[in-house]
């Protein structure tokens, strides 16, 4: 059994077991076993991120795209199926994009990422409905190409009837060896390519969720097979401490909201700034001025590419970084925001999670933040909630 099918079987079993929950429905999220990041991987990831967000700021309402991440960075994914009978896929759940796509049987075997992963075959599904509109999800240097199809999509046995998704006929090389086949976008329809109704919207419209929201609990322990939970339609108060602090969504595209201030060492890094909560981004991406300030405060040296490193011996003496959101202070400590990366010669470096990408001015709070703070994405009330996640 290869590694991918092993993961699929384990997760399918986990889904069967967990389905005894009636009210709220969970997908176990699994980070890949090997949490090691190399400097080149970080670079690859950053270039993908750069094109993702630059595309958004430069093409207006029509150019939309999905997250693609380097598989050797922290990534959280679960299992879904399409069609009748069910065809299973590992999928990455991404609150920073809004389309669902999986590889197509019509993706040629010369495409290595397609060859390695499960593929959707419309002729094998009795519930398939043709659409055929070609779409391209553009990443600047990379893109996913394919066409729309409609079928029953399920995750955790929640059926979504008549869900339109993209069958990819060309998948970028960043998916080679990734433990997931495609992406399930959980953001708002306004950033969906082809203006397709996102699966979460259909799930809600079809009355499948007891509450019109989802929540994420991401474990930061990358070696644990059960790496976290994505809860459809519910909030589990055993997974956080204290109470949730809610802030309204400020722009319904990404899950975007206003942060009152971000401070470290009594230095203000932002006030009344915009941020998004993005499960598809492993780190925290900050605007340029804040990037310079934060490096000054933590003594990090820029690597010349928007990533910055500290002396590992200094880690414990670094300051906390405080995020004031909706009247509550959310604190990241050095052990939260410093990640160890290993180069090809096994040298270990301590990288700041605060990275920079040219060309946009909002903060992207990725898995480093969402892993520390249980996050509720409340579609029904157009708000986001955070509370300190329990650590086990």
Ligand X SMILES: *[C@@H]1O[C@H](CO)[C@@H](O)[C@H](O)[C@H]1NC(C)=O
Q: Taking the C-alpha atoms of 329, 334, 73 and 193 in order, what is their torsion angle to the nearest 10 degrees?
A: 30
Site string for ligand X, 330-359 (x = CB under 6 A): -x----------------------------
Q: Is residue 271 a contact residue for ligand X (CB under 6 A)?
A: no
Q: Is residue 319 a contact residue for ligand X (CB under 6 A)?
A: yes
Q: How far is the CB of 253 from ligand X (least distance, A)?
A: 27
Reported for 22-26, long-range contacts at CB under 8 A and 24+ positions apart, including other chains, are 23/210, 23/233, 23/234, 24/210, 24/231, 24/232, 24/233, 24/234, 24/235, 24/236, 25/156, 25/157, 25/158, 25/209, 25/231, 25/232, 25/233, 25/234, 26/156, 26/229, 26/230, 26/231, 26/232
Q: Is residue 378 a contact residue for ligand X (CB under 6 A)?
A: no
**At which residue do the structure tokens 């199809």 appear?**
149
CA 132 to CA 352: how far, in whole Å?
44
List binders of ligand X among 144-163 (CB under 6 A). 147
Give the residue with the Cβ less far from ligand X, 58 or 317: 317
Judged by CB under 6 A, which of 134, 162, 190, 335 binds ligand X? Answer: 134
- Spacing of C-alpha 308 from chain mean position: 22
The catalytic position among 151, 201, 278, 293 is 278
Give the residue with the Cβ less far from ligand X, 210 or 343: 343
Stretch that binds ligand X, among 4-12, 74-82, 241-249, 318-326 (CB under 6 A): 318-326
Both tokens assigned to 300: 């990090």
Give the residue with the Cβ less far from ligand X, 271 or 329: 329
List binders of ligand X among 21-40 (CB under 6 A). 33-34, 36
Stretch that binds ligand X, among 81-89, 159-167, 238-246, 316-324 (CB under 6 A): 316-324
Question: Which 3-state string (H, E, C) describes 23-59?
Answer: CCEEEECECCCCCCCCHHHHHHHHHHHHHHHHHHHHH
Stretch that binds ligand X, among 107-115, 171-179, 263-271, 280-288 (CB under 6 A): 263-271
Residue 272 known to be catalytic: no
Q: Which residues are designated catalytic? A: 94, 278
**Binding stretches for ligand X (CB under 6 A):** 33-34, 36, 132, 134, 147, 263-265, 319-320, 322, 329, 331
């Amino acid at each position: 059994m290869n590694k991918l099918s092993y993961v699929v079987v384990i997760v399918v079993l986990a889904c069967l077991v967990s389905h005894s929950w009636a009210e709220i429905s969970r997908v176990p999220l699994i980070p890949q076993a090997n949490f090691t990041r190399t400097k080149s991987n970080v670079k690859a990831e950053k270039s993908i991120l750069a094109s993702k967000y630059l595309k958004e700021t430069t093409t207006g309402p029509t150019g939309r795209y999905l997250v693609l991440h380097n598989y050797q960075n922290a990534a959280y994914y679960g299992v879904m199926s399409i069609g009748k009978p069910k065809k299973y896929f590992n999928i990455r759940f991404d609150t920073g994009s809004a389309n669902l796509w999986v590889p197509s049987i019509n993706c040629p075997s010369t495409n290595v990422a397609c060859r390695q992963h499960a593929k959707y075959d419309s002729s094998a599904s009795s519930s398939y409905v043709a659409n055929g509109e070609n779409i391209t999800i553009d990443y600047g240097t990379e893109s996913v190409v394919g066409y729309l199809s409609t079928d029953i999509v399920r995750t955790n046995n929640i059926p979504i009837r008549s869900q339109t998704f993209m069958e990819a006929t060309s998948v970028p090389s960043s998916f080679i060896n990734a433990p997931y086949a495609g992406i399930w976008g959980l953001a708002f329809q306004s950033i969906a390519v082809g203006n397709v109704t996102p699966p979460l919207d259909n799930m809600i419209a079809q009355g499948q969720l007891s509450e019109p929201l989802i929540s994420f609990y991401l474990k930061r322990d990358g070696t644990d097979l059960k790496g976290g939970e994505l809860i459809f339609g519910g909030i589990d108060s055993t997974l956080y401490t204290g109470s949730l602090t809610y802030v309204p969504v400020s722009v319904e595209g990404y899950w975007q909201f206003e942060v009152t201030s971000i401070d470290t060492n009594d230095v203000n890094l932002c006030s009344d700034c915009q941020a998004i909560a993005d499960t598809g981004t492993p780190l925290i991406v900050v605007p340029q001025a804040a990037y310079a300030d934060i490096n000054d405060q933590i003594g990090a040296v820029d690597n010349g590419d928007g990533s910055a490193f500290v002396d590992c011996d200094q880690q414990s003496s670094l300051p906390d970084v405080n995020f004031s959101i909706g009247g509550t202070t959310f604190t990241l400590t050095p052990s939260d925001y410093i990640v160890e990366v290993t180069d090809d010669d096994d040298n270990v470096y301590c990288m700041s999670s605060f990275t920079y990408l040219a060309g946009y001015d909002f903060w992207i709070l990725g898995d480093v933040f969402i892993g520390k703070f249980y996050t509720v994405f409340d579609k029904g009330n157009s708000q986001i909630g955070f509370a300190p996640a329990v650590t086990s």
